[in-house]
Structure 1
Amino acid sequence: MTELTRKWTADRIYDELRQGIMTLDLYPGSRVTETELAQRFSVSRTPVREALQRLAVEGYLTIRPKHGCYIRQLDVFELAEYYDVRVGLELEGVALTSQRVPYRELAQLADDWDPRKLMYGSEGTECFKDAEEAFHIRLASLSGNMVLVQYLKGVNDHIRIVRRLGLPDTESVIKTYEEHHEICQRILANDLAAATNVLRAHIHESQTKSREVTLVQLEARRRLREEEG
């Protein structure tokens, strides 16, 4: 097998497993093994191992040597604490950005999220969800504090699954455009109070919707597993 083919196979396995985790088809806490997955995808264990290691680094699962891999559990109380940290980090990032106001970068970020353009589409696709998460990292990066950015990325690794479930419909997507755009415009207008108010409300609403959708999805998956079992 060539290096190119091996790499493509690992990426394909990663994408499918990640999708299964994100949609809760791979139920939180469930166990998977390299051998089982190798049989499922009709490949050797090497690309499976690469895919699992990548998922582990990104926080989707835990690898326990000689025991297998366990899909990350979803603890709504722990997730709430991560959201609290996220709010603190992002608000501090905005405060630092408002002191230096990188106009060109902020204007570009605002333009990318102009609700009249719908640059990332009007549906909650994977592309849109990637862009939504990237917006907050881009905004934090404008603070000039890369330590803050790294901490925010770490928090995102822990809340990514529920965060993406909180974008289930077009209405949520359009509102995300509007709020992202307004946050940038408020900073550009040197209105820090308004920018932080919009950002705080934006994150808290996302948290609430994500929690509601997650609980519903978990219950539906639990019942399905019981029926199949």
Structure 2
Amino acid sequence: MQRDDKERIVSESFRKGTTGSIYETLRQSIMNLELYPGSRVTETELAQHFGVSRTPVREALQRLAVEGYLTIRPKHGCYILQLDVFELAEYYDVRVGLELEGIALMGQRIPYREVAQLAEDWDPEQARYGMSGSEEFKDAEELFHIRLAELCGNPILVQYLRDVNNHIRIVRRLGLPDQDSVMQTYREHHEICQRILANDMDGAAVMLRAHIHESQAKSREVTLAQLQMRRRERALGTDAGSDSATPGTLPAN
């Protein structure tokens, strides 16, 4: 391997590592509402804050945009996703409709083996997720609903559900799940699968609807509490009234 090739590979590896680090720092700042909903960030100020070029910053921002954490407006900067509780309620309504339709479609030909695997994955006696950290559990919880939708055999429905998830992912991940809520999720996921396996699609739909509505209520409560706390902090801080998330609002490097 030529020396130039080695240097290029090392440089590329370093850049990817830097992008990942910036992405994770920004994502956590958005999740913690340190980057306030609706506030503006730019590649230039973030590059200065992290002490890097704009390229890894741009790549991190693009990834965050794909995942629904912010919106990129060319020549204007990036805007952190707004948390409008009324709009979020509308997204949850769409989510419920999509997931219930998925259950109805699945009832036409139940993929027993795949549903049985989901039931096993979420057996409360096994409790594989949520023990090593809330992020692992929340990733698994979201994936369960996507996987359940995939089993209905309609990829367009699944894509719409993914799009909805991009809009509500922040509020679904606010707050730390306690052990009781983790185990309740296990029981409900497991029971939904068991009802499908018993060909009780109506029962599965009723339980799924209740499960999502309870999650929505908890997310709304946590979102309002977090927003109220951050508003108080901003009112007491020097950036009160500003719509720009300055580098000073980010964790120190």
Which TM-score band (shorter chain)?
over 0.9
168 and 157 in structure 1: CA distance in 2 versus 1, 3 angstrom threshold: same
2:56 is the alignment partner of 1:47: yes
Match of 2:215 in 1: 206
The answer on whether the counterparts of 1:122 and 1:173 sit within 8 Å (CA) in structure 2 is: no
TM-score, with structure 2 as normaliser: 0.87
- Listed as ranges, the matches of 1:39-118 within 5 Å are 39-118=48-127
The answer on whether the counterparts of 2:134 and 2:177 sit within 8 Å (CA) in structure 1 is: no
- CA root-mean-square deviation: 1.4
Distance in 2 separating the partners of 1:59 and 1:196: 27
- Listed as ranges, the matches of 1:9-24 within 5 Å are 9-24=18-33
Q: Which amino acid aligns with 1:29?
A: G
Deviation at 1:176, TM superposition (A): 0.8
Distance in 1 separating the partners of 2:231 and 2:132: 27
Provide the aligned length of Structure 1 versus Structure 2: 229
Which one scores higher on RCO, CA 8 angstroms, separation ≥ 6? 2
Which residue of 149, 165, 169 maps to 1:156? 165
Match of 1:194 in 2: 203
2:228 is the alignment partner of 1:219: yes
What SS class does the counterpart of residue 78 from structure 2 fall into?
Answer: strand
Q: Which amino acid aligns with 2:12?
A: E
Deviations 1:45-73 (A, max 9, x none): 10000011111122211122222211111
What SS class does the counterpart of residue 73 from structure 1 fall into?
Answer: coil
Match of 1:4 in 2: 13
Seq. identity, %: 75
What SS class does the counterpart of residue 26 from structure 1 fall into?
Answer: coil
Deviations 1:6-65 (A, max 9, x none): 111111111111111112111101111111111221111100000111111222111222
Q: Which amino acid aligns with 2:180?
A: E
180 and 123 in structure 1: CA distance in 2 versus 1, 3 angstrom threshold: farther
2:181 is the alignment partner of 1:172: yes
Q: Which amino acid aligns with 2:228?
A: E
- Where does structure 1 lack aligned partners over 5 or more consecutive residues? none
Match of 2:149 in 1: 140
The answer on whether the counterparts of 2:195 and 2:203 sit within 8 Å (CA) in structure 1 is: yes
